[in-house]
Amino acid sequence: MPIIGLVLEPLDTLFFRGGRPFGLGLSGESGLPAPQNFAGALRTWLLERAGADFRRMRGQPSLAAAFAAAGVPWLAETRFRGPWLADISDPASPKPFVRAPANLGLAAGEPVALCPLRTPLAGWSPPSDEPQMLPLWLKRRRPDKSRPAWLTFDGLRAYLQGQAIGAEQLPSGDALYGVEERTGIQVDEKTQAAEEGLIYSTRSLRLKLNVAFYGEIDLPEEHAKAFDGEQVMSWGGERHHVIVRKVNRVRWPQAPDDSPRTSLLLISPAFFTGRWRPGNLPQGALRAAAVDGPFAVSGWDLALGGPKPTRFGVAAGSVYFLEGAPPPPSLCASPDDALSGYGHFLKGTWNYAE
């Protein structure tokens, strides 16, 4: 199936509800969208275009069965990746931003990368089931307590090739998006006036100029025409809308396949059976790990017609350092997670700290 690049440009603020409670006296605050927000919105939009009967999807044991019941079995094999914030100064060729790698720090304000030591430190205790693991270290310099938040596309290419990164390649979140306060009321249906005491506030996501979201979708050729021209789609809470445009697919940088030491940088969150460690890494190949998180997400199950349980996983930016073995094709324990865009990683190269 061809891989299509998509840019989602908001027409207003966006709202993606997190796991925090929202009720009387509390403010609903939007975070950044998770992969399932991206995949769910596009699936719903494609289902509506196909005239699918959503009621027939309820109660089905799996996504594949739900899509088959709705008459769109091809949607079960459609793969999504993203979304990522992206620079759209060139509208046809977006440049995504990714979460700064967890082993990337600052020393006197300059970017530095922590790398595995060749020999363990005194007092170092690796996990009992990973005795070959080594500590991450930075020799001759002491990292600051602050950490970078984002990495530009050019910075990503340099990081994966083991090259130095400039401070200008580490933008802050404030440079990419802001939060906008809004106040709302609940209207009484009979009186058409505000109900006393039912005033609430929300904090919505507003992207900066020339910043949008980029994502990818693997779609059968005969259905790819659905994205010809500009489309309008609702996304997130409160039915806010985005313009969806097909763009040139991003050519993600990767380290050479023959590199003896490979780092796996998660650019999307992931869920593993082994909590912080992907369960399908080659045995004995893991030398070190810098893990961000936890990442928590819930949602609504369209097939079962009810809320999904909260799940905890590893955040984007986590890095796994391998030596002497090729990485697996996917890090996700669940095929459905992989189809929804979780666990997407890029291959880099690394050297020992000395």
Q: Please give the Cα distance from 106 to 27 (Å, whole number).
A: 33
Neighbours of 136 (CB within 10 A): 20
Q: Are 292 and 317 in contact (CB under 8 A)?
A: yes
Mean of the pLDDT values across residues 39-61?
A: 85
Q: Please give the Cα distance from 300 to 305 (Å, whole number).
A: 7
In this predicted structure, the answer to whether residue 341 has a pLDDT above a threshold of 70 is yes
Q: Are 165 and 159 in contact (CB under 8 A)?
A: yes
Give me the sign of the Cα torsion angle 81, 265, 86, 159: negative
In this predicted structure, the answer to whether residue 30 has a pLDDT above a threshold of 70 is no
Least confident piece of the model among 13-22, 173-182, 277-286: 13-22
More confident residue, 232 or 195: 232
Q: Please give the Cα distance from 320 to 278 (Å, whole number).
A: 9
Nearest C-alpha neighbor of 317 from the set 292, 296, 338: 292
Q: Which run of H or E residues covers position 94?
A: none
pLDDT value of position 29: 63
Q: Are 336 and 148 in contact (CB under 8 A)?
A: no
Least confident piece of the model among 151-155, 185-189, 333-337: 185-189
Contacts of 217 (CB under 8 A, 6+ apart): 3, 4, 6, 42, 78, 79, 80, 81
Q: Please give the Cα distance from 176 to 349 (Å, whole number).
A: 28
pLDDT value of position 140: 67
Q: Please give the Cα distance from 228 to 201 (Å, whole number).
A: 38
Least confident piece of the model among 2-6, 153-157, 324-328: 324-328
Q: Please give the Cα distance from 8 to 38 (Å, whole number).
A: 10
pLDDT value of position 25: 52
pLDDT in tens, 147-186: 899 999 999 999 999 888 999 999 999 999 998 887 777 7
pLDDT value of position 252: 95
Model confidence band, residue 213 (pLDDT cutoffs 50, 70, 90): very high
In this predicted structure, the answer to whether residue 88 has a pLDDT above a threshold of 90 is yes
Model confidence band, residue 190 (pLDDT cutoffs 50, 70, 90): confident
Radius of gyration of the chain from its Cα atoms, rounded to whole angstroms:
22
Q: Which two tokens stand for residue 254?
A: 């990767």
Mean of the pLDDT values across residues 97-123?
A: 89
pLDDT value of position 23: 54
Q: What is the pTM of this model?
A: 0.88
Model confidence band, residue 17 (pLDDT cutoffs 50, 70, 90): confident
What mean pLDDT value characterizes the chain? 86
Q: Are 76 and 68 in contact (CB under 8 A)?
A: yes
Q: Where are the alpha helices (DSSP H) in the chain?
A: 35-49, 63-69, 153-160, 335-339
Contacts of 178 (CB under 8 A, 6+ apart): 205, 206, 208
Model confidence band, residue 280 (pLDDT cutoffs 50, 70, 90): confident
Least confident piece of the model among 215-219, 227-231, 255-259, 311-315: 255-259
Q: Please give the Cα distance from 345 to 347 (Å, whole number).
A: 7
In this predicted structure, the answer to whether residue 70 has a pLDDT above a threshold of 70 is yes
pLDDT value of position 26: 53
Mean of the pLDDT values across residues 233-257?
A: 89
